[in-house]
Amino acid sequence: MVSKMKIKYEKYWGDVDKMNNLLYISTVMGPRYKLGFVDYALKRGYPEDGKRGRMAEDVNKATFALFAHYEQLWKSKQSKNASTSLAPIVE
């Protein structure tokens, strides 16, 4: 049983290069944690791994890119709603 658990752990958390950034991005999007927590968690989980700085930077870039995409979609939706909500006044 323990060996199966260890295999699964190594599959998802063992190698920094193989980890899915969405795990960290979802942590950033949560209401309790921010980007600083991701950096802290990487330092605690991989204290001697030189790749953790790159991983933290990748998560940071992906989070900001996701936010920029969301912001662009929101602005285009707002401008579309503003143009359709202005009905001409007819007397």
Full pLDDT tens readout for the chain, 91 residues:
888 888 887 777 777 677 777 777 888 877 677 888 888 888 887 777 777 778 888 888 888 898 899 899 888 877 776 655 555 555 5
* Domain hosting residue 37, numbered range: 2-77
Is the dihedral angle over the CA atoms 29, 31, 36, 37 positive or is it negative? negative
Please calculate the CA angle 58-20-5 and round it to the nearest 5 degrees. Answer: 140
Query: How many structural domains are present in the chain?
Result: 1
In a domain, 25, yes or no: yes
In a domain, 82, yes or no: no
In a domain, 37, yes or no: yes
In a domain, 28, yes or no: yes
How far apart CA 67 and CA 31 sit, in angstroms, is 15
In a domain, 66, yes or no: yes
In a domain, 24, yes or no: yes
In a domain, 6, yes or no: yes
In a domain, 89, yes or no: no
Which structure tokens are listed for 40? Answer: 């802290």
How far apart CA 54 and CA 49 sit, in angstroms, is 10
